[in-house]
């Protein structure tokens, strides 16, 4: 009541919004019924992309502070969770688009040339802000992807590429995790010992196990040795840096250690929200991947082996990008380095207490 | 290539589309983060409402012809099916909106006054075009619902109210179904006999059934009698007209008979698509109802027992409208009049043949 | 390898599981195709009900402790979240069941007599464990609902009725929230003052507002007075107890205050998980309600106005239970008592600090 | 009432069903909470797989007849549609399984050895009955996939491999489509002419187009030539057979022609249901692919780079099978051979009439 009254229609800008559906088929010939669906689905995507970017920006802002306020973490998690919910929804939009048949698509496809999803700057912005670097992108017609974008959008992407991405900020935040070296406790050394002991016990067990045939025994020991090798590379600084140099890992060793620490001791109060945060990042990355894959399948169904409107060999590009554009794959790999809960070293009381609330003490 | 090239961004009118999100909180104070979600969700609704109306209009057009071309039925069915898919999607949007909490909503709610979903003309248009009549609407603050709409939208609704709705057109189309009286065959008479015979057999069975206790027997016979009474009202023209007058049924007797006929003999080629059509109408009506219900639950969660921004007692109105605004409830009632398949009269060969394709003959 | 090897098939008990589909139509006549779907859908429900109960029991266990360990709260939240995800899934199963038509259902319906969903003891157990009391249940054929259950299941329910429900335990846990009276701070008194002040300011504003017509002014002032009355009842112990006695509220005043406190100060570290907990309880209750409603709609579609196999008037009972069986409706009403964030009293530093982690201090 | 009464609990075999969840962790140590979810999700999968197989068998039965009754087609379509709905549901189950974390999985993973999803005979049966041949399967540890199955299940698969699959039956049914050569009309010849004419017109257009730069012109002409080559291979019997021999196509030329015919003239009454049928087969294949892909992503998340319980390198195998196990990929390729609707030859009245119902004539 302190503000001028407003009508629903004006509040939502419906005049603008509902006048933005302009089928080219109607403009250059006769309206093709299904072009309207094609437009609506893509507009709905772009609306939701804007919302995802909005949530993402707020999370980026939280992590841009040199020291992240504990009171902001729950907020960041809830915004990431919202992104996941939106992603689930828009993946479902593909089912709707597929009620359009290839025959129907063909009827207006020519009018679209050379418009193409490759020109969606919001999608590119999203990938960039999450942390996809130029050098990790799938090449497409030997041109940088942003050449097909409008100049004002190129600028937006450029700016995003020059600013810290969510990946960068989360990496830095993880590196600052205070509990890994504290009061004489050294998580990384302790964990290494626990792993080696665990592998040793497993090996003795296999060697003494009379239930296994010699072939089985050999095979199992080989697998154990492979496991040991994997851990070895992970534990030795030089080996890890070598893997980073080869592009097998992108995240810093310190951040990876912290992520593992959070995963393992996630029930301690101060780690509960950080654990949720990492889980939501994995969810978002997985849903991005799922979206790309479903999109690729749909393109194949609509076009068969034809060339996409953007001039790409559509399906092939989309398929390669599906995996390659994952941002947090290092966090997916964390599982490789887990050992059973019973083997996990207990935290010293002094460290554990630091992660609890003041009120109980 | 025969048309000027177009960029993805211009094709989708992204400049318009993505500049239509203008949070009032930012305008009159400080941006409240969740207002953006509120806007996006409602804009996505309105986008999809436009698409649903577009599909609905195309179906209405098909059924507006004095004689509906068989080649158009499959198209109409596929457009109705698309509406159902869209409905499923947008019901899911409520889960996203509920990631906003009452606390967050309260922070920008005052800026919205008196905007309210009651002012969505597309939703009203949708209800009207499906066939919801003014007299069947839930009253709301004792005013015709369209007083809160903008003049240009009132006009659209008025026009829709004066044109035949999908309900009217489907009713007329059903009435024209050719096979119910053909070559000496009278479906309605035949079906009535089959029903009466069925009820008679059931009654004898119960009466002779020694497994039932006297109380159970009496109760079962009472239920059978209730079933007989229901059928009776349905079979007698006068009784049916009386029920219509009381508002228990809206659809004409002839249309109801045809719908039953289609339901029963749905496997005959000429009835396969009509059967799908009726099923999709039920789906659409059910999803409208589900949407209204979920919307009511959400309003309750956001507002508790507060008054809605539109000045209504929100939840109560929404709850009452949920059921009352169903359009095809008579088709839901069809199940009341079904008897087991084994009791269904066989169609005379001559009638049956008429419903088959020419090629096989 | 320390355990005997096991085959996937044995691990999952597939022999048992996949031999439990025994259509009655096949046994007493000729297999009706759709009976298999009917069985599968209901078995899938029961499987998931068991899982939901399993998660619920674990949450109940956490809250059964006289003092709930902070490390367990995140676990409880994640199990509640899992229940919500399962609920979303099984609500979707109704769409699958509706691919069966009334005609198909009628073909095997007689064989089912008097089996009915009313006899699902797991559903009853679920309602009971959540906190639905006998006296709050919708009556059904004038008999206590558990008369239709098997004796062993009656016993399970009886036992659950005699044990504290999730509602009871959460209520008690809320009552124990330490921060509402602490170091001279009295949340309830402080909040009451803030509310009264807010209402006073609003009233002055309306009275001086020259933009409003006399009618509008009067109406708005009336609404404000209604708001004040609502708060009044809430603030006065006697009034609240009177509402409890009339069944308008079930939860204790102290628990309600704590829930409001958590809602309002949810960003403080020690309240972040409690806030998630309350939100998930609302989600679960809402999904239960949604499930009931969709189930009622489906029954109506399958049976029309016929009597359910369990002898109930199906749809009517289901409709009444939909709302009445809500367990946490008092928490939904919390929104009624919220005021804008800018009006919310700040916490004294001393209290606020108690809710933070030790490590930063 | 003609049959002995039955209780819901017995009807659904709940005693069996609900006693089949036996976590190994409880048996060999201490119950790990999340093992129950793991079991429930997989049991729900197997339940639904049985239902899918049941629907599939009924469709296979319809198409096993030497001449498929037109009245059965709608039924087959509705059963395929039901399969699609089930697939959508069970893909959603993966989201539920992912509420289990790698840490939790690791806690009971050892107890499962060597059980693995590779041992799901129902999944293998499903692939086989759809039409996946042994030679098209992704190899896995250099052993035929059914070595890991139980003998009785091996037999079931063997039997399925020796019976016509849905692919085989649909192919044969398509080959029998009566309208492609009828009354002097030769679809294939007519279509070929239409395509060549279309390509000719396009070429002239490009050559004369002054808007295009020489480079663009050349590129576009190259693309047209590629299109012409693709069609050429498709039109020449020998070339097509060569592609078949190389495994580029599996379906017979005659069946492919018929599928194209149905796609193009789908609005003719006699083709409406066949068109739906083909669309549903594509849906099913796409959902199988989507399921495999999501399953692969989940395995990667749970295991990182570890070896699967079945001894496979999990993720890699699953990723390769994702695409390779598609059954109806030839029907996805149909889009390659479509030309715009305006270019499609009109059917002779005599042929068209054959596809209509008798009643109108």
- Please say whether the beta carbons of C280 and C80 come within 8 A: yes
Strands (E), chain C: 181-182, 185-186
Residue with token string 């209405």: B60
Nearest Cα neighbor of D129 from D155, D164, D81 is D164
A310 confidence band (pLDDT: 50, 70, 90): low
Q: 10-residue block means of pLDDT along chain D (361 residues)?
A: 85 97 94 97 98 98 95 97 98 96 91 85 96 84 76 94 97 96 94 93 88 85 86 88 90 96 96 97 96 91 68 69 88 88 93 93 59
Chain B residues within an 8 Å CB radius of C302: 335
- Specify the pLDDT at position C342: 87
What is the tens place of the pLDDT at every residue in B106-151? 999 888 888 888 899 999 999 999 999 988 888 765 567 778 899 9
Helix (H, G, I), strand (E, B) or coil at C38: helix
C47 neighbors D17 (Cβ within 8 angstroms): yes
Choose from C102, C105, C265, C316 for mutation: most chain B CBs within 10 A.
Answer: C102
Question: Is D332 in Cβ contact with A263 (below 8 Å)?
Answer: no
Selected residue of B305, B341, B343, B344 to mutate for chain C interface (largest C Cβ count, 10 A):
B305
pLDDT beneath 50, residues of chain C: none
Which chains have 3+ CB pairs within 8 A of B?
Answer: A, C, D
CB pairs under 8 A between A and B: 168
> Residues A246-253: what's their mean pLDDT?
91
Beta carbons within 10 angstroms of residue C336's beta carbon: 15
- C181-182 and C185-186 beta bridge pairing: antiparallel
> Greater confidence, B78 or D213?
B78
Give pLDDT, residue A154: 93
- In chain C, residues with a C-beta closer than 8 Å to the C-beta of B304 are 332-338
**Residues of chain A with C-beta less than 8 angstroms from the C-beta of D338:** 102-103, 106, 304
Q: Which of residues 219 through 238 in chain D touch B, CB cutoff 8 A?
A: 220
Contacting residues of D for C43, CB less than 8 Å apart = 12-13, 17, 47
What does residue B185 show for φ and ψ, rounded to 5 degrees? Answer: -85, 135
Q: In whole angstroms, how large is the CA radius of gyration of chain C?
A: 25
CA distance B108 to chain D (A): 33
Q: Do C102 and B286 touch (CB under 8 A)?
A: no
Interface predicted TM-score (ipTM) of this complex, two decimals: 0.94
Label residue B307 by pLDDT band (50, 70, 90): low
CA distance C169 to chain B (A): 22
Chain B residue closest in CA terms to D68: B360
D7 close contact with B: CB closer than 8 A: no
The pLDDT of residue C247? 86
- Interval A60-108: pLDDT, tens: 999 999 999 999 999 999 999 999 999 999 999 999 999 999 999 999 9
- Per-residue pLDDT, averaged over A135-142, amounts to 73
CB of C328 closer than 8 Å to CB of C167:
yes
Give the model confidence (pLDDT) of B26-47 as tens digits. 999 899 999 999 999 999 999 9
Q: Which of C43, C81, C89 sits opposite D47 (nearest CB)?
A: C43
Burial D200-210 (b: 16+ CB within 10 A, else e): eebbeebeeee
Long-range Cβ contact pairs of D21-29 (< 8 A, separation 24 or more): D21/C13, D21/C50, D22/C13, D23/D108, D24/C3, D24/C6, D24/C11, D24/D108, D24/D111, D24/D112, D25/D107, D25/D108, D25/D111, D27/D111, D28/C2, D28/C3, D28/D111, D29/D111
- The pLDDT value recorded for residue B117 is 84
Q: How far is CA C289 from CA A176, C285, D225, in A?
A: 45, 6, 61
Closest residue to B20, CB basis, from A2, A5, A13: A13
Tokens of B178: 């050719």
Nearest CB to D356 within list B70, B220, B266: B70
| Rg of chain D taking only CA atoms, in angstroms | 25
Per the CB < 8 A criterion, the answer to whether D92 and D123 are in contact is no
Q: For residue A361, what pLDDT is reported?
A: 58
Q: What is the pLDDT of residue B219?
A: 85
Where does the pLDDT of residue B310 fall: very low under 50, low under 70, confident under 90, or very high at 90 and above? low
A208-239: per-residue pLDDT in tens? 888 888 888 898 888 888 888 888 888 888 99
From chain C residues 272-311, the ones with a CB under 8 A of any chain A CB are 272-273, 275-276
Do B8 and A117 meet the contact criterion of CB atoms below 8 Å apart? yes
Cα(C330)–Cα(C250) distance, rounded to whole angstroms? 7
Residues 140-169 of C with CB under 8 A from D: 150, 153
What pLDDT is attached to residue C140?
Answer: 63
Residue B230 has pLDDT above 90, yes or no: no
Q: Which helix (H) or strand (E) holds B352?
A: helix B349-354
Contact criterion met (CB < 8 Å) for C357 and A353: no
For the entire predicted model, the pTM comes to 0.95
Cis peptide bond N-terminal to A114, omega within 30: yes
pLDDT computed for residue C288 by the predictor: 96
Give per-residue burial for D24-46: e unless 16+ CB within 10 Å, then b.
bbeeebeebbbbbbbbbbbbbbb
- Tell me what pLDDT residue C23 has: 97
A88 and D95 Cβ atoms separated by less than 8 Å: yes
Q: Say how far apart CA A82 and CA D174 lie, in whole Å.
A: 47
C32/C22 Cα distance (integer angstroms): 11
pLDDT of residue C142: 53
């Amino acid at each position: 009541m302190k503000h001028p009254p407003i009508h629903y229609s004006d509040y939502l800008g419906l005049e603008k919004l509902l006048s933005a559906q302009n089928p080219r088929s109607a403009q250059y010939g006769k309206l093709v019924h299904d072009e309207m669906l094609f437009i609506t689905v893509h507009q709905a995507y772009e609306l939701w992309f804007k919302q995802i970017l909005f949530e993402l920006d707020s999370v980026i802002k939280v992590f841009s502070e040199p020291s992240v306020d504990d009171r902001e973490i729950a907020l960041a998690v809830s915004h990431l969770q919202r992104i996941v919910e939106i992603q689930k929804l828009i993946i479902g939009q593909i089912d709707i688009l597929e009620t359009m048949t290839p025959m129907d698509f063909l009827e207006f496809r020519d009018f679209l040339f050379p418009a193409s999803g490759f020109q969606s700057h919001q999608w590119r912005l999203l990938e960039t802000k999450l942390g996809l670097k130029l050098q990790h992108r799938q090449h497409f017609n030997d041109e940088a992807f942003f050449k097909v974008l409008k100049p004002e959008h190129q600028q937006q992407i450029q700016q995003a590429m020059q600013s810290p991405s969510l990946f960068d900020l989360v990496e830095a935040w993880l590196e600052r995790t205070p509990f890994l070296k504290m009061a004489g406790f050294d998580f990384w050394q302790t964990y290494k010992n626990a792993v080696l002991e665990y592998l040793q016990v497993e090996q003795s067990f296999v060697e003494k196990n009379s239930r296994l045939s010699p072939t089985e025994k050999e095979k199992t020991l080989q697998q154990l040795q492979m496991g040991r090798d994997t851990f070895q590379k992970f534990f030795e600084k030089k080996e890890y840096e070598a893997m980073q140099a080869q592009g097998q890992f992108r995240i810093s060793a310190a951040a990876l250690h912290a992520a593992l620490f959070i995963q393992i001791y996630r029930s301690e109060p101060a780690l509960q929200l950080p654990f949720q945060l990492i889980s939501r990042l994995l969810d978002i990355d997985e849903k991005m991947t799922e979206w790309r894959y479903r999109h690729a399948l749909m393109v194949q169904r609509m076009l068969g082996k034809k060339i996409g409107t953007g001039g790409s060999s559509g399906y092939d590009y989309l398929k390669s990008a599906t995996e390659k554009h994952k941002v947090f794959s290092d966090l997916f790999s964390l599982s490789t380095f887990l050992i059973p809960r019973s083997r996990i070293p207990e935290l010293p009381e002094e460290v554990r207490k630091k992660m609890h609330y003041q009120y109980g003490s």
